[in-house]
Structure formats: structure tokens, C-alpha cells
């Protein structure tokens, strides 16, 4: 969590930080001054505040290696993992503002309630292997799916998606994270379930206007829109908007 | 899902954000870039003049459709196809939703909320789903533009008379244009789906394996779809500008090589 080898000579500057403190929406920003050490990330600065100044500062974190997806926050307005956001990335006189994800209810300080996402996950029909499945899987068949499996469920894509964030259409769209979960299942060579009707009627793939913010913030560099959502939109076109494709599909039974 | 679970920042006015970078630069640049092209293309489409000279035919007017019952510019009869292809393109959708519709203008920046957001589920945006049909039509137009580029290699009226072969600056402009247009068209997301993305199993049979080969190549083009989109937009405008300058006598199409 904290480099014990760093000496006072290595401290090159102090950073001014503003951190959201309080319960629910009733909180406010509190200012801190944090010594910056070489290689330090924003999560280190938050830990410094927690250790040296305000021990009751609430923050969710775990691996500090950008693999657990716990420390999602908004740093100077940019949805990011605090453990992946370097302090050197900010100008020396720039104030660093850290606040919780804005799309989900704030519990306290930097911790918010992301349980809505887990509820959406339950709505998706799980992997349903074909009864006569040959379990030898070739790399070319699974490569697309493996990209989606990199997801660490940090929910930064869910947070930045304007459908959920600005327009609050959680009633109509499950969000990009679950679009790629469905895409991974639909593209799986051994899966037999059909989720397209659900995706169209309930999942809300048509709500996405592919402005690609989900892709921009993904810390795993998953091409959520190009490789997940757009292919799903095209499959929906096959089913609902392209009579020729639907006819051919029925005739030739791929 | 319900009000109680919402933490959404729905109350914020247009453009409000905590971002401290120049987030507005990209949507503004795109709005200006598209704006210039749209104004230029509209002017040229309605001008109905200076679009053909020698073996050069402006891509805005190709194929040249002339009918006795049509009294306006022939460009109008053809331009709706490339315009429709680009308007429904997944890259352009991102660009104009951000730059013109501000839904949202940039990531984590408040967008326009004057209506209940319904994405592409209702009129008119539900028509974005015809993109693959616009792709089919645009491919026909592209084939004709390749023919026009080939035409520049021969003296006017001497197509495939190899004794009348020539190579001019106009040939470079026209070939660059069709190459860039092909890179854009064949990197299209809808084409990527049709050529192989629709399959779940790429190893199931020879046909699927062939689809995988094509899908891989289209995917490589698709990775840079935005770049192809901009380069081809510029090239098609430039090819028209070059043609009209030659037609107006402002510029001479310099022949670099001639067989005769």
C-alpha cells in the first residue's frame, strides 16, 4: 500500500487535494495537502489521508493492481481507477478533486452502492451449453469472448454511460457492462440460449447511441462498443429490422 | 432501476462537468469539420455546373443520372446514398450525437435533456438500423467511382484504348479517393457483421473458416474506421474541388505520363 523505503529527500512536492466527504448526497469537499512521492497513485494519496489525517475516510479498495475493480472514483471529473491514476499526471499547482461515482447512490465518502449492477446481472440468461456439445474449443472461436472476460466489474462504464448517468434510464437499459456479458454469451460457440429478444425488449440495446464513453474509460481496454454493443445491435437488426436477413436465416438455418 | 437506487446526476445543466481538461475541443472541431463539408457539398450539389471536364467526373455527380423529367441537379439523385451511408455509420453517429445533438458532448459532461431519452428505439433514430442497406447501395456507387478513376487513365472517350493511356495528377486524386473510400466502406461495422461477425463458430466448416479470414481483414480496417471516415470525407471533397477547379479553368490537370 505504501512504500516504506521512501525517504524525505524523495518527496518532491505537496499536492492539494479535495475529497468528497459525507453521507449520501449531503456531503461536501474537504481540502487536504498530501506529500507526493515518486510512483504514487491517487489511491496512495487517499490512503495517506486515511492514515495521517482522517482515519474515518471511507474508501473501497482491494488489490491496488487494477485487477479487482474496487477503487473506481471520479478524479478531476474523469471516471477512473484510483490505483491506476498517477499523481505525476497532474500539474504541480493543479488541485486534485476526488469524488465517488455519480451514477450510483453514495453511501459515504468515496463509497457508493453499486448493487443495482448485480441485480442486472441476474436478469441475464446464464450460459446454456448445447446438449451434444463437443467441449473442444478452438482459439479462433473463443477469442472474441475472451476480450469480454477481461472485465473486472469496476463499473466505470456503467458510471460514465449517459443513459444511466444523465438520463437516469436505469428502467430501460442495463448498461455497457452487461451488454458485453450478453455479447460474450451470444458469441460463445457452445451456448444454445437465445437472448436477443431480451436484449431488444428489456436489456435496451437500442437505447445505446454508441457515443463510446464506456470504451474510453475501460481500464482493461475492452472495445465495449465496437466489439460488443455494435455486433449485438447488428444481430438485433438481423432479427427485427432486416427482412431479407431474417428470411435467409430461416431458409439456410446457419 | 427504481428511484431509490438512483444516484444519477440528472439535475445538472448542459455542459456542466468536473472535468478540468479541454473536453469541448474534440466535439467543437468535429462540428466545424462536418459543418464545412456539409456547406461545401450542399453548394456543389445544387450548383449543377463545373462537375465534368475531359475524363474527370466529380464524385458528387457520379454516376451522372440525366432524365428529361428531372429538372434539378443530377447530384441530388445520387448524393443521398453516400450521405445516408455516412449518416447511419456507427462512427458518424458517435460524432454527430456528441457534436450536434450534445447527447452527451463528451464523457462525464452533462448533455441535452430537453426530452425523455429513448436512444435509437424510436423515430427518427430507429432508422439508423438501415445502415447495412445503405452499405449495399454505397458499394454500388463505390464501384462506379472506381470506374471513374480508371477513366482518368485514358484520354476522353478512349477507355481501354491502351495506346491512349495517360496518367495525370487527376488520376492520383481520383485513385487516392477511391482507395480511401474503399478503406472506409469495407471497414464498416455492418459489413463486419455480415461477412462473419454474425457467426458463433468460425471453425465449423470451410465456409465459416473463409468467413473468419474475411472477418479478420475487415476487423483490421474497422479498428481505424474513424480515421478512414475522415480521410475519405476529405478525399471525396478534394476530388470534387480538383474537378471543379479544372472545369472552371483555374487549374490545369497536368498529364504526368502519356503513351501517345
Predicted pLDDT at B160: 87
Residue A222 contacts B, CB cutoff 8 Å: no
What is the assigned CATH class of domain A8-112?
alpha beta
Task: Determine the distance in angstroms separating the CA of B135 from the nearest CA of chain A, rounded to an integer.
Answer: 13
Mean pLDDT of B147-164: 92
Predicted pLDDT at B12: 81
Task: Determine the distance in angstroms separating the CA of A235 from the nearest CA of chain B, rounded to an integer.
Answer: 7
DSSP labels, B125-181: GGGGGGHHHHHHHHHHHHHHHHHHHHHTTB-TT-TT-GGGBEEEHHHHHHHHHHHHH
Dist. CA B166–CA B55, nearest whole Å = 11
Domain ranges, ordered by start, for chain B: 22-258
Residue A47 contacts B, CB cutoff 8 Å: no
Contact A78 B19 (CB under 8 A): yes
Interface A-B: count of C-beta contacts within 8 A:
173
Percent of chain B with pLDDT over 90: 87
Residue A103 contacts B, CB cutoff 8 Å: yes
Dist. CA A81–CA A75, nearest whole Å = 9
All cell numbers assigned to B138: 454505397
pLDDT digits (tens, 9 = 90+) for A8-26: 555 568 999 999 999 998 9
Chain A residues near residue B2 by CB distance under 8 angstroms = 170-171
Residue A145 contacts B, CB cutoff 8 Å: no
Chain B residues near residue A112 by CB distance under 8 angstroms = 7
Task: Determine the distance in angstroms separating the CA of B112 from the nearest CA of chain A, rounded to an integer.
Answer: 9
Mean pLDDT of B108-124: 92
Domain ranges, ordered by start, for chain A: 8-112, 115-252
Predicted pLDDT at A9: 54
Residue B209 and residue B202 in contact, taking contact as beta carbons nearer than 8 Å: yes
Contact B7 A104 (CB under 8 A): yes
Nearest to B108 by CA among A157, A116, A46: A157
pLDDT digits (tens, 9 = 90+) for B71-103: 999 999 999 999 999 999 999 999 999 999 999
Predicted pLDDT at A30: 97
Dist. CA B176–CA B148, nearest whole Å = 12
Over 60: is that where the pLDDT of B3 sits?
no
Contacts of B6 by beta carbon, 8 Å cutoff, 6+ apart: A105, A168, A170
Predicted pLDDT at A245: 85
Dist. CA A208–CA B135, nearest whole Å = 21
Task: Determine the distance in angstroms separating the CA of A4 from the nearest CA of chain B, rounded to an integer.
Answer: 33
Residue of B nearest to A223 (CA): B223
Top-confidence residue, B181 or B260: B181
Contact A170 B118 (CB under 8 A): no
Contact B8 A74 (CB under 8 A): no
Residue A10 contacts B, CB cutoff 8 Å: no
Over 60: is that where the pLDDT of B180 sits?
yes
Cis peptide before A182 (omega within 30 of 0): no
Return the C-alpha torsion angle A161, A164, A168, A171, nearest 10.
140
Chain B residues near residue A203 by CB distance under 8 angstroms = none
- Provide CATH code, domain A115-252: 1.10.1060.10
* pLDDT by position in tens, chain A (length 254): 444 444 555 556 899 999 999 999 899 999 999 999 999 999 999 999 999 999 999 999 999 999 999 999 999 999 999 999 999 999 999 999 999 999 999 999 999 999 999 999 999 999 999 898 889 999 999 999 999 999 999 999 999 999 999 999 999 999 999 999 999 999 999 999 999 999 999 999 999 999 999 999 999 999 999 999 999 999 999 999 999 988 887 887 65
Predicted pLDDT at B114: 80
Residue of A nearest to B104 (CA): A162
Task: Determine the distance in angstroms separating the CA of B2 from the nearest CA of chain A, rounded to an integer.
Answer: 7
**Assembly ipTM:** 0.93
Full-model pTM:
0.93
Amino acid at each position: 500500500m505504501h512504500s516504506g523505503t521512501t525517504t524525505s529527500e524523495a518527496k518532491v512536492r505537496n499536492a492539494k487535494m479535495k475529497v468528497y466527504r459525507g453521507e449520501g448526497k449531503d456531503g461536501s469537499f474537504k481540502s487536504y495537502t498530501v506529500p507526493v512521492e515518486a510512483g504514487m497513485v491517487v489511491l496512495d494519496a487517499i490512503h495517506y489521508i486515511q492514515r495521517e489525517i482522517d482515519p474515518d475516510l471511507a474508501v473501497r479498495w482491494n488489490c491496488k493492481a487494477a485487477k479487482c475493480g474496487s477503487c473506481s472514483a471520479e478524479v478531476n471529473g474523469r471516471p477512473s481507477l484510483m490505483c491506476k491514476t498517477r499523481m505525476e499526471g497532474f500539474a504541480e499547482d493543479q488541485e486534485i478533486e476526488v469524488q465517488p461515482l455519480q451514477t450510483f447512490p453514495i453511501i459515504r465518502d468515496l463509497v457508493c452502492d453499486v448493487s443495482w449492477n448485480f441485480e442486472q446481472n441476474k436478469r441475464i440468461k446464464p450460459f446454456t451449453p448445447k446438449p451434444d456439445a463437443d467441449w473442444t474449443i478452438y482459439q479462433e472461436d473463443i477469442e472474441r469472448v475472451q476480450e469480454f472476460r477481461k472485465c473486472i466489474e469496476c463499473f466505470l462504464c456503467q458510471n460514465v454511460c449517459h443513459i444511466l448517468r444523465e438520463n437516469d434510464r436505469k428502467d430501460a437499459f442495463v448498461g455497457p457492462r452487461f451488454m458485453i456479458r450478453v455479447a460474450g454469451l451470444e458469441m460463445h460457440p457452445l451456448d444454445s440460449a437465445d437472448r436477443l429478444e431480451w436484449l431488444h425488449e428489456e436489456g435496451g440495446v437500442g437505447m445505446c447511441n454508441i457515443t463510446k464513453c464506456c470504451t474510453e474509460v475501460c481500464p482493461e481496454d475492452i472495445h465495449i462498443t465496437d466489439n460488443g454493443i455494435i455486433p449485438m445491435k447488428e444481430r438485433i437488426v438481423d432479427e427485427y429490422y432486416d427482412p431479407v436477413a431474417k428470411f435467409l436465416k430461416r431458409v439456410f438455418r446457419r | 432501476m427504481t428511484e431509490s437506487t438512483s444516484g444519477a446526476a440528472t439535475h445538472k445543466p448542459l455542459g456542466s462537468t468536473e472535468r478540468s481538461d479541454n473536453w469541448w475541443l474534440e466535439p467543437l472541431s468535429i462540428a466545424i469539420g462536418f459543418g464545412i463539408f456539409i456547406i461545401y457539398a450542399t453548394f456543389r450539389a445544387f450548383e449543377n455546373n463545373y462537375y465534368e471536364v475531359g475524363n474527370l467526373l466529380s464524385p458528387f455527380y457520379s454516376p451522372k443520372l440525366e432524365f428529361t423529367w428531372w429538372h434539378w441537379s443530377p447530384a441530388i439523385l445520387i448524393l443521398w446514398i453516400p450521405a445516408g451511408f455516412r449518416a447511419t455509420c456507427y462512427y458518424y453517429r458517435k460524432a454527430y450525437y456528441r457534436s450536434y445533438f450534445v447527447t452527451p458532448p463528451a464523457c462525464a459532461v452533462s448533455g441535452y435533456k430537453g426530452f425523455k431519452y429513448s436512444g435509437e428505439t424510436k423515430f427518427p433514430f430507429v432508422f439508423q438500423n438501415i445502415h447495412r442497406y445503405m452499405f449495399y447501395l454505397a458499394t454500388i456507387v463505390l464501384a462506379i467511382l472506381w470506374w471513374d478513376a480508371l477513366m482518368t487513365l485514358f484520354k476522353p472517350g478512349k477507355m481501354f484504348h491502351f495506346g491512349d493511356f495517360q496518367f495525370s495528377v487527376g488520376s492520383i486524386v481520383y485513385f487516392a479517393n477511391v482507395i480511401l473510400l474503399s478503406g472506409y466502406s469495407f471497414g464498416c461495422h455492418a459489413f463486419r457483421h455480415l461477412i462473419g461477425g454474425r457467426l458463433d463458430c468460425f471453425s465449423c466448416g470451410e465456409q465459416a473458416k473463409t468467413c473468419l479470414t474475411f472477418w479478420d481483414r475487415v476487423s483490421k480496417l474497422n479498428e481505424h474506421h474513424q480515421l478512414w471516415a475522415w480521410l475519405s470525407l476529405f478525399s471525396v471533397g478534394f476530388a470534387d474541388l480538383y474537378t471543379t477547379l479544372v472545369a472552371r479553368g483555374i487549374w490545369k490537370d497536368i498529364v504526368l505520363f502519356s503513351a501517345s
